[in-house]
Chain A
Amino acid sequence: MYLTDPNPNILAKKMELVDKLLSFLPSDAVIYDPRETLAYECDALSAYRCPPMVAVLPRTTEEVANIVKLCWELDVPVVPRGSGTSLAGGALPTGDSLVLGVARMNETLEVDYSNRLMRVQTGRTNLSVTGEVESDGFFYAPDPSSQLACAISGNIAMNSGGAHCLKYGVTSNNLLGVKMVTMQGEILDLGGAQLDASGYDLLGVICGSEGQLGIVTEATLRILRKPEGALPVLIGYNDSEVAGQCVSDIIKAGVLPVAIEFMDRPCIRATDAFSQAGYPDCEALLIIEVEGSELEIEEQLAKIIVIANKHNPVELRRAKNTDEANRIWLGRKSAFGAMGQINDYMCLDGTIPVSKLPFVLKRISEMSKEFGLDVGNVFHAGDGNMHPLILYDANKPGDLEVCEAFGAEILKLCVEVGGCLTGEHGVGIEKRDLMHIQYSADDLEAQMSIKDVFDPKWLLNPTKVFPLDASVKRREGASQETAA
């Protein structure tokens, strides 16, 4: 992948920028020593690295506004950062950028059970938000697997999902409001405790905009009362098509589980060897979880089991208590780690219409042979979001490139069958040049015109999301101004 070169005119302003930042920020909040900026050189797409020119760690929205204003005046690109767990390179700096990290902005500002909401600074980790209200029986629904580390800011920027979004939706369905700073330093409140926007749904546009429209400093989040309980059932099939049919039949029967996870044989074997979860060695494994009181769980699982049995499973194991539930989840939850034990891996994130699952799995396994790289599939089967994990060897020259080419082919396939490039990880740098596959020039122009409105100089995370050739005029417009 091509990484853009730093602009020498901006690099030349480094010490001017640092001095001005130090005039209103404490010295430990401004990082400019090249040994220390290394800490910000990548996110979880760690094959790509580039330390920023400067990193700053503000504590308040006002500090953020002052930092951004300064960058606007000096034409310095700004890369917002939460916890750096993006798998798409969304938080990857350019060499001439300032990384604005919100990690120190982690206060809870308000908990309001009557209105089912909570207001936090966005540097809070996802899990700590639920942690704050859990003892009172509440939770924040979006639960990305990275929830121990990832920040609400990153969740909002990527519109992150989680295992339970089949029932509860993704971040944008659980976000009521934000406080944000535009690239010109204006502080803006969008949404809030009321449910409707009075004009355009700008909040909906900010969510998922990958740090390109503003720095989000505070968030109002929907919190929900926890259900009484939840239990999964594990079902194994010797044919992925049959497993897909089973999922479709369950949904058609009117049962709406909170999660339906799917793993294919390579993934089942790897996770079982790694976690000793005791999974059956079969072609397709489903983990289906339902919620409610004991009686309600019983009622739903009974319906699911009747349907599952019609398709002749090789194994059907229902959890009767939390211990058994944890055992069923154990393998799935360690899937990424298990694949990582075997080799380096690249995690894809395309979505497909669920009816296309058998065809897509078949094509992936054919392509795996063509490219000579192994792949395992984990899949949020209820909503069509696939996570093919392609194994490669980072130390073997050329392997990463083959892996990327393979990945691109899989994503093209997802779009061809009516799906999309990314279901929850975002575009970042990773998929920006594939955007042409899904969107026409006019589609991309429409999206970029929104960025023109919020960030006319294209200083916020400018090299992400859009194909470099599509955004070049706008980005160069900005840097020519710098040269002038």
Chain B
Amino acid sequence: MSIANLAPSSESEIAELVTSETERVHIAGGQSRLIATEKKIISTSALNGIVEYEPGALTMVAKAGTPLSLIKETLQKERQQLAFEPPEFQHILMLPGNSTIGGVFATNASGSRRIQVGAARDHLLGVRFVDGLGRIIKNGGRVMKNVTGYDLVKLLAGSWGTLGLITEVSFKVLPIAETQLTLKLNLCDARILTTAINTPYDISGTFYDAGLRSAYIRVEGFDESVKYRVQQLLAEFSDFEIDILNMEQSKKFWKNVNNLDFLKNITGDLWRISVKPTDGIKIIEILDPKVGFLDWCGGLVWIRIDEGCDVRGKIQKLAGHAMCLLGGFDQFHPSSVIEKKLSASIRNKFDPKMLFNQEILN
């Protein structure tokens, strides 16, 4: 039995649905998670397919319900990729679904390469969506540079389906690097991450295991170039004991990072905390979790901590926000009073009846 009870296949169908709808609905992508408990679900599963792909222009257009796996496979054939490495959390959250490209952008889901190439929002070039009034709206386009009018593309990226149902996205893609290597520095300080990123060697991933005190530094590119940069980094960090992960090991390691595999099989609430990079290690010191890891040069903290621990209350003095992925707390961190006011007004413009995802970001 399919959970989805509505699966419209066109924008006009969605617009019609929305105009006549009075009950609240939840927008479901691949249903890697159903956050809300609304009875009715609008699934994007029938909005499926790659609309256009121009490898020479580094751009792709796809319908929102297209499985992320299909996008990745198609890009792979041209040796290209979604450079922001969208994470997939189904394993750790023990959910059956598969991510969709619309869901990736609706949650601004971005992985380790963010420190080098930016987040999902930085790769999203255009959106089409149907808002809560049934209006079919487009913004941005399929070209890489576009400043025509306001940037609602950024607004929709990370809006978690609260402003409208995204029907189509166009985005920038990038070449897959010829090769990659990862340096593993043993028994080092978290500060190593910022030292590494501030070398001229174009680091594409930094990760720190606070328990074992080891740091991982990824270098990608053409063969000769990667070898050269690794040599330079070895010299830079000659005080440390260093292991080198070869291409296969390196790929596997970063995949595990992106899927949070290292947080599996550990009990406790799961939190994701976004802070100033140099504050990352302070968060771990303050909270003293069961396990703690840093990504994004320290700017992204992943922890598992005793159930019921109010993480937000304990780290208030550090700027940033904490999201609870598994545990009894509201998933979203409340924003400042004035941001809340502006955000509520914006939502009211696009979805005055609060049809979509009522419980999210509310």
Contacts and interface: CB of A to CB of B under 8 A. Distances in A.
A446 B163 CA distance: 11
Given A115-B194, A197-B158, A208 B147 contact: yes
Nearest to B153: A204
A445 B349 CA distance: 10
Contacts of A124: none
Given A198-B321, A256-B175, A452-B349, A354 B147 contact: no
Contacts of B78: 252
B56 A199 contact: no
Contact of A443 (B137, B158, B228, B321): B137
A242 to B, nearest CB: 14
A365 interface: no
Contacts of B202: 227, 292
A199 B57 contact: no
Interface in B93-112: 108
Interface in B168-222: 174-178, 191, 194, 197-200, 202, 221-222
B55 A115 contact: no
Contact of B138 (A116, A188, A443): A443
Interface string B43-66: 000000000001111110000000
Interface in A169-226: 169-170, 172-173, 186, 188-190, 192-205, 207-209, 225-226
16 contacts: A114-B277, A192-B276, A195-B296, A196-B274, A196-B321, A201-B108, A205-B152, A208-B150, A251-B175, A255-B175, A292-B202, A296-B228, A299-B225, A351-B144, A353-B54, A423-B143
A383 B205 CA distance: 25
Nearest to B177: A254
Nearest to A226: B200
B132 to A, nearest CB: 12
A199 B332 contact: yes
Interface stretch (B233-241, B243-251, B336-344): B336-344
Interface size, A (range): 35 or more
Contact of B152 (A296, A420, A447, A452): A447
A421 B333 CA distance: 38
B12 interface: no
A431 B148 CA distance: 9
B268 interface: no
A383 B152 contact: no
Contacts of A450: 150, 152, 155, 346, 349
Interface of B: 54-59, 78-79, 108, 114, 118-119, 121-122, 131, 135-139, 141-155, 157-159, 174-178, 191, 194, 197-200, 202, 221-225, 228, 274-279, 296-297, 299-300, 319-321, 332-336, 338-340, 342-343, 345-346, 349-350, 361
A419 interface: yes
Interface stretch (A19-27, A77-85, A311-319, A434-442): A434-442
Given A300-B222, A300-B225, 15 more contacts: A173-B118, A193-B279, A194-B299, A199-B339, A204-B151, A204-B155, A205-B154, A226-B200, A252-B55, A254-B176, A351-B144, A384-B145, A422-B147, A423-B146, A444-B149
B118 A169 contact: yes
A186 B54 CA distance: 45
B319 A383 contact: no
A299 B122 CA distance: 28
Interface stretch (A33-41, A53-61, A158-166): A158-166
A169 B122 contact: yes
Instruction: Report, nearest first, the 4 A-B pairs whose CB atoms are least far apart.
Output: A204-B154, A248-B56, A193-B276, A254-B175
Contacts of A172: 122, 151, 154
Given A196-B108, A453-B346, A353 B151 contact: no
A299 B145 contact: no
Given A113-B198, A296-B224, A200 B158 contact: yes
Nearest to B155: A205
A428 to B, nearest CB: 11
Nearest to B226: A296
A447 B343 contact: no
B21 to A, nearest CB: 18
Contact of A435 (B149, B159, B177, B343): B149
Contacts of A166: 144
A133 to B, nearest CB: 11
Given A172-B151, A204-B157, A195 B54 contact: no
Interface string A443-465: 11111011111100000000001
A90 B151 CA distance: 16
Main secondary structure of the interface of B (DSSP, over half): mixed
Contact of A199 (B136, B142, B197, B361): B361
Contacts of A351: 141, 143-146
Contacts of A170: 145, 147
Interface centre among A116, A166, A444, A446 (most CB of B within 10 A): A446
Nearest to A437: B148
A410 interface: no
B159 to A, nearest CB: 6
A169 B58 CA distance: 14
Nearest to A165: B145
B166 to A, nearest CB: 13
A332 interface: no
A465 B350 CA distance: 20
A249 interface: yes
A188 to B, nearest CB: 5
A355 interface: yes
A418 B149 contact: no
Given A194-B276, A420-B143, A420-B146, A116 B54 contact: no
Contacts of B345: 453
Given A198-B335, A355-B57, A438 B158 contact: no
A424 B151 CA distance: 13
B178 A383 contact: no
Contacts of B275: 193-194
B149 A249 contact: no
A139 to B, nearest CB: 11
A189 to B, nearest CB: 8
Interface centre among A195, A425, A443 (most CB of B within 10 A): A195
B325 to A, nearest CB: 14
A446 B131 contact: yes
B135 A445 contact: yes
A248 B175 CA distance: 12
B56 A188 contact: no
B57 to A, nearest CB: 5
B50 to A, nearest CB: 16
A100 to B, nearest CB: 20
Interface in A288-310: 292-293, 295-296, 299-300, 303
Given A295-B224, A296-B224, A225 B199 contact: yes
Contacts of B350: 446, 449
B203 to A, nearest CB: 10
Interface centre among A158, A170, A247, A353 (most CB of B within 10 A): A353
Contacts of A226: 200
A377 interface: no
A353 B228 CA distance: 35
Contacts of A452: 349
Given A225-B200, A442-B136, A423 B57 contact: no
